[in-house]
Structures are given as structure tokens and as C-alpha cells.
A and B are shown apart, each in its own frame.
Chain A
Amino acid sequence: MTQRTTITIRGMTCASCVQTIEKVLRETKGVVEASVNFASEKVVVEYDPSQVDRRRLEKAISDAGYEPVRHEIVLKALGMASPHCAGLVEKALLDTPGVLAADVNFSLETVKVAYDPSVVTVAQIKKAIFDAGYKPMDVVGESVEDREREARHQEIRKQTIFTAMSWLLSVPIMLGTFREYFGIGTFTPEWLANTYVLWALTTPLMVGPGAQFFIGTYRGLKHGYTDMNLLIATGTGAAYTLGVVNTLFPTAGFGGPEVAFFETAALLIAFLVTGRYLEALTKGRTSEAIRKLMGLKAKTARIVRDGQEVEVPVDDVVVGDLVVVRPGEKIPVDGIVRDGYSAVDESMITGESIPVEKKIGDEVIGATINKTGLLRFEATKVGKETALAQIVKLIEDAQSAKPKIQRLADKVAGQFILAVHVLALFTFLFWFFVGYDAYFRGGTFLLSSTSLLSISPGVFSVLLAITVLIISCPCAVGLATPSAIMAGTGKGAEFGVLIKGGDALERAHKVNTIVLDKTGTLTKGEPSLTDVVASDAIGEREALRLAAIAERGSEHPLGEAIVRGADSRAIPLEDADRFEAIPGHGIVAEYKGRAILLGTRKLMKDRGVRDIEELLPSMERLEAEGKTAMLLAVDGTAAGVIAVADTLKEHSTEAVSRLRKMGLEVAMLTGDNRRTAEAIARKVGIDRILAEVLPEDKANEIKRLQSQGRIVAMVGDGINDAPALTQADVGIAIGSGTDIAKEAGHIILVKEDLRDIVTALELSRKTIRKIKQNLFWAFIYNAAGVPLAAGILYSAVPVLVSPELAALFMATSSVSVTLNTLLLKRFTPSLMKTRKPAREPAPPRSAPRPYGVADTSKSIGGGDP
């Protein structure tokens, strides 16, 4: 039995770090799989807990030179009377599975706990303290989200200081170096051009902002790994060393004090550090959506305990607690309404902008906002089980799961560093032994004061090799895919579309056939009253009233549909005096001396009902529409026809039409008979029907379509249609409440709106397009930059890319990839662009609509929705 855990990591600088960490973890005994997401700076590890624990995983990461960020909280533990008590608390905590470290401060009565959130919750930690005989109090420390945010801010702060320092030192170095050019000498003192001064200014740059590259290189080499730090360290180190040699030994033959190379080292660091600063700034923004979701969690809840309303931290709410939420307050956990009526804004979870009415028996979702009335509800899901926690986990997992395209990019980036060093070696050897003699014709480096005539062939060749090293850093390749997936999955969550990973996104954009399950997906999945045809003598309303009174005692779904239909039309109902069900035929009832019959033709004939013939054409018409029609007779005379059918969901027709507009073939899959299926398909606008398919054959039907070369997306109920959803290239599960974790499929639609399929497909197309753009630019940059840096065009144009310019290109490439990804944040589903502004609250999922609002029936003009 394996376990999964997510560890946040600091210190990754490029895609090769991803390879390094994954390799280190995979080599750790007991680790089954490790997948690092460079953009979110997290690794998901699947491991065998009997062989390895989280502590050892963290050690493996820190041994590789990276810093695992621990989940930590600080709690009060009241009641400790002696240091011995502190020992007891510590022992109780350390004995709790998932607790990694416990540090008790006896004098402050606090305990700092490091824990694995995938194994233990804060509530369980508090319980361990409580069970040890002490009273745990509110969390006084920061949450893990706060720590992650703090870590990110720290990184931004650090790079801000480094960037400012780099430029503050680089500008005078540049002025000193270029003093003879562009009239800079008019305002620059002569002493600034002295090589010793330039050396003095460059050295703090090397040991300050530049040190991170050397430290990273050292850590990597210590463990036998190479990463982008090595490229930068080799480049800047070589430039600085040449500068020092030229300063101390001007006659050594490397160009003398005129070509000190200090500006090369300084500008390299300045550009690279600026790149890291911008990267840190933009990288955080791609994962903004998930942080926003985490921030939605309520901090406290008002619950009823011993008849009193008390406010407690949300982690202290347990299943079964009665929670009170006033208008304007946040609903703290998931539950079922036991008292009250209100409209709730669920937009943050489902993306539905219209508030949803909540009444007794309805589900409420934690983190949504209660708008109008007071609600009392019973907590059904708390902690990790809430819909919000499940959504966050699902998105985190999705962002860590690597699609094929990313695995390939990471592999390429991992081997790239080695290839670049080989290339740099060949560049040096070529120019040293062949190129210089054959092609050298003077000229200059771009963005450099170094005249090529003033340097020796050896220095010329080394500088070209340095430029190759600097320009080829694969940061942009490493960021291209994960940053787009993070932005895409995060954006999906905003609209209630939960995408379970990059692979799902990758496949979804190729889908050309959509198969929609009928019952529960296109339709509501329960019969509703659709038509009432009445004889002139009785009238539609009276016919429906009598039919509903007769069915009131029935538990048959068709009978319940008739009663609901009458209720929704505000028809007052009383109980029948006598009721008898005749299985397979209908019912017989008596109400205030009137004999009521409701059922099949056979029942009517057997009971000798008169004037049936007049109603038979209506009955046949309704049956031809796929509805279940029942004859009504009152006192032995036919009085009407009542039709019941599974009705379409509100947006089914629009969704199908939008999908067809996207160029997809839409098919309907159902176990129903062909006539009923055709009737529904006609209404919704589907031509291709797969009818009379047994539930167990649904997956085979998908397989059959796939064998025809189609890329199939199956849309169905996440729990009942699981095999078909799994078989499909993309399984899209329509959310059925708050149990998101149980849903099968690759994409989950939180709300029951089929139009979200369109949003999911649009988003997948946009995200994949973004990934392809990013990878294209990242590779094109390297494909064009490396030959230029190696001097391929030098024989034609006597100008070379200087190491400084290479650093500028390199910094720009990763920032431009991230900025391109950020454009995804502007994604708006086509649906939102055409949606009209809504004023009325949306009805609850199964709530009846008032009489006469919708018209799905020509006969009565007020179908049950």
C-alpha cells in the first residue's frame, strides 16, 4: 500500500533541477514515483511507508542541495505544569503518524509542530495534545499557505535586493569601462576607469548576487549533478578570472588592462539576477488561482453546543455539528440545511454567478457566501473532506501530474546542460585551432567595449565558448509547460471546471466526438409532468388535481412526478379516501364519492371506461414523443391524458448547439428504447444516437467509436458512468454535489451546466496552444541563439554576440515565456461573452419552478422543469 505526499521545494532554478530532484527521490529506497512541478515548486512523491517516511524524503531533497518547506503550525498547549509535561506533549505528538517534529516551549506554553498534511490534520494534532491531558488552543502561528506565501515573498525580496545591488554596481562599472565612448568621459571621473576600481566594484557583485550561482553549482557538483547554475558560474567565473589576470598581469597576453572583462561579469550577473527577479514575480502569478481558492476557507464557524451558539476555529467543527450562518457570512463547512431559507452565492466554487436558493434538505458548500437569510445546517463534511479542500487537492495534483509533452521537455532540458558544455568545448577548439586563423577579421562584440583586435586567439575562443554557455540556459524550456498548465487548471477552477491534469488538457484539445449520456446528463434523470390533455367537461387543472390526489398515496416515480407537477402549479391536494395500486396497469382511487382511474388503455378497457377513443390520438402523439402517457377516467368516463417524461436540463440544447458549432460530432448514449431516445435527441439537436445500450456496454460503445479513429470525450455522471468515462479519451463528469473526490473522469464540472463542457474544451485548446507557443519560442530561442553565439555568422558579419548580450537574451526568454502564459488569465469562456445579466436567484438543483414559468408542454403551458 503506497502513500502520496506533496513537498514544497525552494531553490530550484531550471528544468534540470526537476530532473535532479526526481532522480534523487527515485533512487531513495521505498519511493515508487516522484514528479516535480517546476512552476509550482512542488514535488508529489508516491512511496511505501514501510520503507521510507517523509523525514527521509525531505533529507534526500536537502542532500541534493534544495530546501524542502515544511508544514508547520504553532499551538498553545495549556495546562503544562512542569518540563516533564512538555516532554509528554512532545512524545504524544511524535507518536502521532504524520508529525515530523514537535518543539515544545514550556515557558510560553506553545508547541511548534512540523507535520505532513497528507497524513495528519491540524484537528488530529490538537486531539493528540488533548488526549495527552492538555488543552490545545487556537493556532497562533501561520498556516502553510502563509508560509508558502512568505517563502515566495522572501525569494522576491531577496532577488529585488540583488537586482538593485547588481545595477547599482554595474552602472558605474559600465561607465568606467565605456568612458572613452559616446562622450561618457565628460561626466565620468577618470579613476572610475581604473581596472583596480572596476575590480573592487565587481567583486561585491560576485560574492553578493553572483554567489547564488556558485553555491548552486557547488551543491549540484557535490552530488554529481549539473544545472543552469553551472553554465552561469562557468561563464561569469571565467570572465571575472580573465579580468583579474588582466589587471594583475597586464602583459600576460590576454588583452591587457584595456580589456578587463569586469563589465562582462557584472552585466552577466545583473541581467541574470534581474531575470530571476522577474521570474520569481511572474511565477507566483501563474499559481494565483489556487492561492485564491485556499484563501476562501473560513477561519471560524458559529456552532450550537449545549444549546448555546459558540464561535470556534473552523478546524474544530466536527461532522454532525449544527452550524449557524447569518446573512453576509461565509458558510464554513459543507452540510445540509436543517432550518432556514436563503440565497447563497456559490460562484467561487461553481462559477455560477447567480445566487442559489437554499431550503431545508439542500446541500450547502463550505466557503460560499450566505446572502439573504439565516441558515442552520448540519455539518456533513469537514477538514480535508470539504468540497473546497477536495478541489484544491485535485488542482494541486493536476498541476503536479506531468503530461507527455512536459516529460519530453524536461528530459530534453536535463540533457541540454551536458550538450551545451560539449558544444562550448567544440566552439573553443574550433575557433582556437581553425576558426581564428581562417575567419578572424576584427570587429566587435555587441553590447561590449571589447575590441576583438585587442584580444588574443585564446581569449577570443574562450569568450565565444562563454557566450554559448550563457545563451543556452534551458529555463524557458522548463517553464513553458508547467506554467501554462498551472494557469489553465487554475482558470478552469474559477469557472467550476476542474481539470485533473496536463494529460487531460492535452487530450481534450484533440477531441472530435462528444458522447453525452442521456439520463442524468442531458436530462434531469427523474420523470417530470410534461403534458395534461383534458376533456372539455373537466378542464386541465381539475384533471391534474384529481390525478394527483389519486397518486398521492403512490410511491411509484410516475405518480410522484404527477404530484410534484400539481404542487408546482400550486394546486391544493387532499388525500384520497381509498387507493389501490394495480401493478403494471395503474391505480384506482376514490375521492369524495368520485371514482378515479389512472393508467393504461388495458386498465380502462377492463373497467369499461367510456369515450376513450376521443383521447387516444393525443395519447399516441405523446407516446410518439417518447413520453409515458396515462389515461385518466373519472366516474367511468375518460377525462384526460397525463404525460410524464424525463425532461431536458435547462441548458442541454444550447450546450449541444455550441458543441456542434465547435465542429464536434455529438452523440447520445442511452439504455432507453430507440423511440424515447430519438424523441430526446430530436429536441436537443443530436443526430447520432446510441440507444438500448446496457450500462455495462457503455464502455464498449466508447471503445467502438475509438476504434473508428475518433478521439472521444464521454460526458456522464461521475459515479454511475465511471467505466465509460475511464475508457473515453477524456471523461467529463458532471458534478453531483460536494463529493468531488469520488468522481471518475478526467474533467469534473462542479455545477450541472452542460455548457461548461464548451468552457472545458475551449480552455484546453487555449492552454495547449499556449504550451506550444511557449515551447516554440523557448526552442527557437536556443536554436537561433546557440549558433549565433558560437560565431556562425562571424565570417559574413564581423560582429559577435557578447556574453552580456547572451545573458540579456537568456533572462528575456524565460520572462517572456511566463508573460505569454499570463495572457491565459484573460481567458473568458465564449458562454460568458454571450450570457445575459441575471437578476433572479437560480433555483435549487431539484426545486420546482413556479406555475407557468417554463413552457415545455403545448397542452398545459407549464411543464415541470
Chain B
Amino acid sequence: MSQTRTLIRRKKRYLTAGAYLTISAVSSFLFYLAAGVKGASGTDTYLGIVWVFALSAIVSASLLPPLLERKHDISTG
């Protein structure tokens, strides 16, 4: 029983981490596209990608767990 719970918890954690990374990667990619359109220099674009990735990860790390938890609570009644 407790093993199942650990597995579920681990799965949840991986899922959340995956979600962070996806959101951050998508944000960075969108930034990359926008920077390209704007005609930003290569170094500025790289710097921007890192910065946007870091801040997006931090923001989604704070926002996602309670949101996922709420969703999980709703789905399990």
C-alpha cells in the first residue's frame, strides 16, 4: 500500500517537473522566435533564452504544484 503511494508520489513529482521543463522550454522557444523576428544579436538572444528559461521555471515551480493538486483533488472527488 505504502509502496503504491510512494510510486504515485514519485510519478506526480516527475509529472510536475516535466511540466516545469515543458513550460520553460516553450517560453524560451517563443522568446527565441520573437528575438529572431526583432533581429536581436546572437548573444542577447542566448542570454534571453537562459533568463526566460530560469524565470519561467521558477514561476511555474511556484504555480504548478497547487494547480496540479487542485486538479487531482477535483478528479478524485
Contact = CB atoms under 8 A, between A and B. Distances in A.
Interface in B20-66: 31, 34-35, 38, 40-45, 47-48, 51-52, 54-56, 58-59, 61-63, 65
B44 A457 contact: yes
B48 to A, nearest CB: 6
Interface in A733-756: none
A418 B54 contact: no
Contact of A456 (B44, B54, B56): B44
Interface residues of B, number: 24
A421 B51 contact: no
Contacts of B63: 418
A130 interface: no
Given A432-B48, A458-B47, A230 B58 contact: yes
A224 interface: yes
A433 B34 contact: yes
A425 B59 contact: yes
A421 B62 contact: yes
Interface string A426-447: 0011001100000000000000
Contact of A428 (B16, B42, B48): B48
A238 B44 CA distance: 14
Contacts of B31: 429
A253 B16 CA distance: 36
Interface residues of A, number: 26
Contact of A421 (B34, B45, B55, B65): B55
Contacts of A458: 40-41, 43-45, 47-48
Contacts of B40: 432, 457-458
A543 B43 CA distance: 109
A198 interface: no
A739 B52 CA distance: 61
B51 A462 contact: yes
A432 B52 CA distance: 11
Nearest to A225: B62
B52 A428 contact: yes
A743 to B, nearest CB: 41
A795 to B, nearest CB: 20
A234 B47 contact: no
A595 to B, nearest CB: 89
Contacts of A462: 47, 51
A252 interface: yes
Contacts of B59: 418, 421-422, 425
A417 B43 CA distance: 29
Given A253-B41, A428-B52, A432-B40, A459 B47 contact: yes
A234 B54 contact: yes
A224 B55 contact: no
Interface string A389-430: 000000000000000000000000000011001101100110
Contacts of A456: 41, 43-44
Contact of B61 (A224, A424, A433): A224
A448 interface: no
B41 A421 contact: no
Nearest to B64: A224
A226 interface: yes
Nearest to B43: A253
Contacts of B55: 234, 421, 424-425, 428, 465
B48 A421 contact: no
B58 A254 contact: no
A631 to B, nearest CB: 81
Contacts of A221: 61
Interface string A447-459: 0000000001111
A834 B66 CA distance: 57
Interface of B: 16, 31, 34-35, 38, 40-45, 47-48, 51-52, 54-56, 58-59, 61-63, 65
Given A421-B59, A458-B45, A458-B47, 16 more contacts: A221-B61, A234-B55, A234-B58, A253-B43, A418-B59, A421-B62, A424-B55, A425-B52, A425-B55, A428-B51, A428-B55, A432-B35, A456-B43, A457-B40, A458-B44, A462-B51
